[in-house]
Amino acid sequence: MLRDLPVFGICGHSGSGKTTLIKRLLSSLTAEGLAVAVDKPGAQHLDVDREGKDSDRLFGAGADVYLEASDEAPGRTRPSARRPGAAGLADLARSFDLVLVEGRKRLGCDHVWLLGPDEPAPPEAGEPLAVLPPGVDRPAAVLEILRKWLPERWRRPPVYGCVLIGGASRRMGRPKHLLRTDGKTWLQGAADALAAVADRVAVAGGGVLPAAMAEVTRLPDVPDLEGPLAGILACMRWAPWVTWLVTACDLPALSAEAPAWLLSTRRPGVWATLPRRSPDGPPEPLLAHYDFRARTVLEDLATAGRLAPSAAADHGKVATPPVPPHLARAWEDANTASDLARRWSRRG
């Protein structure tokens, strides 16, 4: 699991400079807008809040510090209530852009090893991405590694697509997902557009499916929620470690180019992309990209009773870029027969 998550180890023996290096790294990483957690294993009985202590230095540099073995309950750092080991680090990766682990050697995550004075790399160092002796510019060396490593790690989760159906369609007078354009139901068209860039496609919500999609994965809406948020959370709970492309079923101009562009917006620090059809337009939550970290944002909305998924755009980790003009029509929905008439008149 850790091989697919942004968990990176700064390893070395005591006194090798691990905390000093991490503090220097944090200055650059947080300035770039990244949310960073630092995990300090074996931190039992530390005086974590005392000025100048390792945890205080890391907290002051901008990190959330997790003391895995601590029995303290400090205010400036956080004793871990997580699962231990790799599972606990994976939990942290749901809420941070990068997790730096100080001191570990055998958890299976990528790492660098810091040498002490006159110290060869010990056998237990495994296969570090770099072995850094004293006297070299360690922050510059590790930042160079991270700036190549982190974007690649961000793109590792599989990509799934989900089409939301099941609205009342009162204004249209019939289920929109069963309407046809060029001989294909809108549902099939949306699924095909997602399938061009996704590893798997599911349908969330109630409603009859066309025969051609009888074998598609069906996901029921989350109970006790209404509207699109119920469908988005249904797919994110069903497959919690993937990148999701979510669309409504009533976008008849949707083609594969639009979800491909959404995927191109993935980068470290962006948990979701809710684009705007125009620079001053509202964010569009349905056709949008949701990284697995965005689930925490959406769950918080549900808990607060804010059922409009567009409210996720208020979160600092959600991007709202304008759609490229040549793709803007993909986000145009159709709710009434007159909407369809206008669309077809423009098409002609």
26-61 pLDDT per residue, tens: 989 999 999 998 887 654 433 334 444 454 554 454
Averaged pLDDT score across all residues of the chain: 84
User: pLDDT value at position 68?
Assistant: 53
| Cα Rg, the chain, nearest whole Å | 24
pTM, 2 dp: 0.85
Same CATH topology for 2-154 and 159-347? no
Distance of CA 69 to the CA centre of its chain: 28
- Choose among 57, 14, 63, 65: nearest CA to 34: 63
Domain ranges of the chain: 2-154, 159-347
pLDDT in tens, 227-277: 999 999 999 999 999 999 999 999 999 999 999 999 999 999 999 999 999
Q: Top-level CATH class of 2-154?
A: alpha beta
Tokens of 34: 């990244």
HEC sequence for 263-296: HHCCCCCCCEECCECCCCCCECCCEEEECCCHHH
Residue 167 is predicted with a pLDDT of 64
Token pair of 164, please?
């939301």
Name the class of domain 159-347: alpha beta
Longest Cα–Cα distance in the chain: 79
Q: Using one digit for the tens of pLDDT, what is the confidence trace for 105-150?
A: 667 789 999 998 888 766 666 789 999 999 999 999 999 999 999 9
Within the chain, strands assigned E span: 7-12, 36-40, 64-67, 78-79, 98-102, 111-114, 130-132, 159-164, 180-181, 184-185, 200-204, 217-219, 243-248, 272-273, 287-290, 318-319
